[in-house]
Amino acid sequence: MSSKRRTRRFFDEFDEFFREIEEEFEELFKENFEKIEALSSSEKKTPLVYGFRLTIGPDGVPHFEEFGNVKRSGFRPKISEEREPLVDIFESGNTLTVVAELPGVEKDKIELKVKDNKLIIKASNGERKYYKEIELPKPVKKDSAKAQYKNGVLEVKFEVEQPSKSEEGEKIKVE
């Protein structure tokens, strides 16, 4: 077989391979668009909100955080009425600050709880509903919490609880 024929056969097989992939993608897109159309045509319309943030921590490890009301559950998305707000946590000296974006909610519709070293944020205002449980990186003094809400941004500040000597342990002299 000549080199022209081999080259031609190679490119024909290559083209066929990409045609098969393209057909599979078209089928997947069609299925997903049908699901989205079914969701949007339902009586109770829930907006689809999805976002993510990828950051590199001080330890050099990448951290992936999703937010919104669309969660991955196997191959199918799971959609809830409550959105998960985007949250940042900052540490400065003896203060831990949690900042959450809750646009479209009034201040009196926000509920905050601290339980088992987690901050639980729940807010609703008509169709806008938010819920998130945030694992706090350090133990905090629950009674020191101060929260402010302005222009859709919630800021909660805590004093970090200092470990007691008994938690640090007692030094033992080696003889």
Predicted confidence (pLDDT) at residue 38 exceeds the cutoff of 70: no
According to the model, what pLDDT value does residue 15 have? Answer: 83
Which pLDDT value is given to residue 127?
80
Q: Is the pLDDT of residue 144 over 80?
A: yes
pLDDT in tens, 18-37: 888 888 878 777 766 666 66
With 90 as the cut, is the pLDDT of residue 122 above it? yes
| pTM as predicted | 0.59
Confidence grade of residue 174 (pLDDT, cut at 50, 70, 90):
confident
- Highest mean pLDDT range out of 3-7, 71-75, 139-143, 161-165? 139-143
Contact 147, 156 (CB under 8 A): yes
